Amino acid sequence: MGARKKRAPRRGSLGLRPRKRASEIVPRIRSWPEVQSETPLLLAFAGYKAGMTHAYIIDDRPNVPTSGKEIFVPITVIEAPSMIILAIRAYTYDPNKGLLTFTEAWAPPPEELEIHRRIPRLNITDMDKKLKLIEEHLDEIADIRVLAATQPKLVGGLSKKVPDIIEIKIGGGKDLQDRFEYAKKILGTQVSIRDVFKEGQFIDVIAVTKGKGFAGVIKRFGVKELPRWHKHRKGSRKVGARSPGIGALSTVPQPGQLGFHRRTEYNKRIIKIGDNGLEITPKGGFMHYGIVRSTYVLLQGSVPGPRKRIIVMRHPIRPTPWEPQGPPIITYISLESK
């Protein structure tokens, strides 16, 4: 009889710690890519997950066995109507503290958008005075970003009316002055997802995953259940550690929160951007969502979160070596009820 196995691979990734609930359902973008573009542009956009379907496309990847052939791909549908640029936020940099907010210039949005009714505490101040202050201290400014609000009232599957606000960095351009002029140009206006992304390119997806409550180590980490025929006095669905105090180590799987974590998935390809949501809505609408009524995005693969969850799309921070020249040819999109 061989020696008893004393080692085993650990369960669960240490790179995903702490496994606790996300602080907010609207994910904050912590890292931004360096985009090489002659003209300034926003580096992120937000939408709402409608559901999934499948499609057949012509594989345009080079040097793969299926190149030029029709392949099956899963598709995630994200409804992404235009966003409203509410404010410009300028940052200074401190070597010890990092980025510090210098000032904000808020613009009163158009009355027909009814943003004031949904966000009663908008920090509306003297916009021209704030913009002049930023321009005078532009040599001290380290970064220019904007605050953008979604329009959930235009989303077919949502019942809420209060917008979600996210901070978006401005990239590209020649210098900071160029990006500041672009921010002033779009301040108080609506921006479409076509102004941020193009069909066929890769993007990163940031969202909060499905919440599954409190779970034990077997479901949470995939720990193997102890053999039941030994009649364990304290149960079998637990960690088999017996050393004193080892249960307190951070590397030992512990029961706790499962799901509702902020997660980032890299390099999801945009298959299509469309304006008529009815052309991709399944018969009877998406389950637990309904009909897509506004601008939509088709992403290849799955994205975190349940239906109706806000999804933040960002320019890729780890771009792939292969740069697509355009969107793939779609031969079929399933409209069957899922």
pLDDT in tens, 12-54: 788 888 889 999 999 999 999 999 889 999 999 999 999 999 9
Q: What is the pLDDT of residues 115-158, one digit of tens each?
A: 766 776 566 678 889 999 999 999 999 999 999 999 999 998 89
Distance CA 296, CA 304 (A): 17
Range list of β-strands (E), 107-261: 143-149, 165-171, 190-191, 202-208, 211-215, 256-259
Sign of the torsion angle spanned by Cα atoms 139, 142, 147, 148: positive
CB 146 within 8 A of CB 187: yes
The full set of domain ranges for the chain reads 41-210+260-333
Q: Is the pLDDT higher at 6 or at 94? A: 94
Range list of β-strands (E), 32-172: 41-42, 44-58, 70-79, 83-94, 98-106, 143-149, 165-171
Q: Domain 41-210+260-333: which CATH class?
A: mainly beta
* Radius of gyration (C-alpha) of the chain in whole angstroms: 24
pLDDT category, 247, cuts 50, 70, 90?
very low
Distance CA 16, CA 21 (A): 12
